[in-house]
Amino acid sequence: MSADQLVAALRRAIRSHLPGSALPGHQQLAALYHVTTHTVRRAEAILAAEGLIELRARSGAIIQPQQRCEQAVARIVAVGWAEERLRSFQQMVRAGAERQAGRYQLPLRWAEFASDEAIDWVDREIRDEPDRVGVIFANVVPPSDSLAEWGIRGVRMVMVDDTSQQLRIHTVCFDVQQAIFEATELLLRLGHCRIGYLGGPARSDTVSTARRRGFDLALVAHGRTVDPRWRTQLDFRGDDSTGAIRHWLTRNPDLSAIVAEDVRLGCQAIRACDQLGLDVPAAMSVVSGGARRPNMPAETGRLSRFDQGSPEQLGQLAVDVLAQTNPGDEQVRLVLGCRWLDHGSIGPPMRHERGT
């Protein structure tokens, strides 16, 4: 890979990270993209000249905020659902949105309703200047006729929901399979050939199905076949699955890496490896998709994750989309599923695994 190709790859990665976060170090980037550290430094110099990153002596390459487009919104209104079980999620979304709106110097007004008054309130807020107001819906799903009418009037709208923690632009939903695809592809680039998959329940679940498809597509893209022995379905929303994962690993001793669909499954996989005496990541790499939620297990700090972001990050990204995106764009390519958070439980396979 040349420096120009690496620059293009890093531009794509930067678009899915929050401003202020750091790129991986030179050695890590060189290993991920199979280039020399000299090529990494050349690529970072180009990105710094473009204003996409700032090179700091001790902190490394820090991602810079994108410039607002000329037609950025003048203010943002946000509406949530006044229900106790949703309050914690919405408060975190609100905190992230208000923090990011402050960086853009955009006024943000937040309100919560327990009835259809939310739709009337939004309609009143955008009446005078619809093309200059951005709207965040937190767990509120407006009627399709309202969405269509507001869209025609030029209103920018973002929806954030607690069920899947996805960011939606109008009715366009971001591709959740991308997180698992990128996690699997990273392991393949590191040299892993025997990768197991811990998925959600086998029943027809849209999100679980999309993530399994991401795993399969990554293997096919690298000329690998999907071995049914190396994948299993567990209900990560139910009881602790550590014992079942431990049994699965015992039956598949050739595995060198695990892709877990959910953060809880990833934590349980690390726990099962510890119980079997498998060092993570020296003997077993573990990476997960899925979103971070409160009250995660202790192993979360050790787990490498590609996820859709925390509620605070969703709030920040919602403001980013409203401030930076022209409503006429064919599709907003801000893919939350591609955020790289941590390298703690991933490494190259043991020497005998390479090239098999």
The model's pLDDT over 277-309, given as tens digits with 9 standing for 90+, comes to 999 988 999 988 765 555 667 787 788 776 555
Residues of each domain in the chain carrying CATH 3.40.50.2300: 75-174+310-325, 177-307+341-353
pLDDT at 250 over 90: yes
Least confident of 19-33, 71-85, 209-223: 19-33
CATH class name, domain 75-174+310-325: alpha beta
Specify the higher pLDDT residue, 198 or 31. Answer: 198
Residues of each domain in the chain carrying CATH 1.10.10.10: 3-63
Q: Per CATH, is 177-307+341-353 categorized as 3.40.50.920? A: no
Place of tokens 């390459």: 61
pLDDT-based confidence at 315, cuts 50/70/90? confident
Q: Give the H/E segment covering residue 95.
A: helix 84-104
Note the pLDDT tens digit of each residue in 207-242: 677 788 888 888 988 888 888 888 887 765 556 789
Query: Which pLDDT does position 125 carry in this prediction?
Result: 92
Average pLDDT over every residue of 69-80: 77
Query: Which pLDDT does position 97 carry in this prediction?
Result: 92
Instruction: Measure the CA–CA gap between 300 and 185, rounded to whole angstroms.
Output: 21
What DSSP assignment string belongs to 25-68?
Answer: PHHHHHHHHT--HHHHHHHHHHHHHTTSEEEETTTEEEEPPPPP
Query: Which pLDDT does position 289 carry in this prediction?
Result: 74
Do the Cβ atoms of 346 and 303 come closer than 8 Å? no
Specify the higher pLDDT residue, 125 or 288. Answer: 125
Q: Per CATH, is 3-63 categorized as 1.10.10.10? A: yes
> Phi/psi class of residue 72: alpha, beta or left (left: φ > 0; alpha: ψ in -120 to 50)?
beta
pLDDT at 164 over 70: no
Share in percent of the chain as helix, strand, coil (round to 5): 45, 15, 40
Do the Cβ atoms of 51 and 45 come closer than 8 Å? no
Place of tokens 């750091």: 22
pLDDT-based confidence at 201, cuts 50/70/90? low
Tell me the two tokens of residue 161.
Answer: 């929901």
Instruction: Measure the CA–CA gap between 134 and 142, rounded to whole angstroms.
Output: 15
Q: What is the mean pLDDT of the chain?
A: 77
pLDDT-based confidence at 17, cuts 50/70/90? low
pLDDT-based confidence at 69, cuts 50/70/90? very low
pLDDT at 139 over 60: yes
Q: What are the Cα distances from residue 156, in Å, to 83, 245, 314, 319? A: 25, 45, 16, 11
Mapping DSSP to helix (H, G, I), strand (E, B) and coil, where does residue 11 land? helix
pLDDT-based confidence at 263, cuts 50/70/90? confident
Instruction: Measure the CA–CA gap between 290 and 253, rounded to whole angstroms.
Output: 26
Q: What are the Cα distances from residue 168, in Å, to 276, 278, 336? A: 41, 40, 10
Total residue count of the chain as it appears in this document: 356
Least confident of 40-44, 68-72, 186-190, 285-289: 68-72
Query: Which pLDDT does position 238 carry in this prediction?
Result: 54
Specify the higher pLDDT residue, 91 or 289. Answer: 91
Instruction: Measure the CA–CA gap between 34 and 210, rounded to whole angstroms.
Output: 28
Query: Which pLDDT does position 295 carry in this prediction?
Result: 64
Least confident of 15-29, 76-90, 188-202: 15-29
| Percent of the chain predicted with pLDDT > 70 | 76
Query: Which pLDDT does position 70 carry in this prediction?
Result: 46
| Percent of the chain predicted with pLDDT > 90 | 20
pLDDT at 118 over 50: yes
Average pLDDT over every residue of 96-124: 89
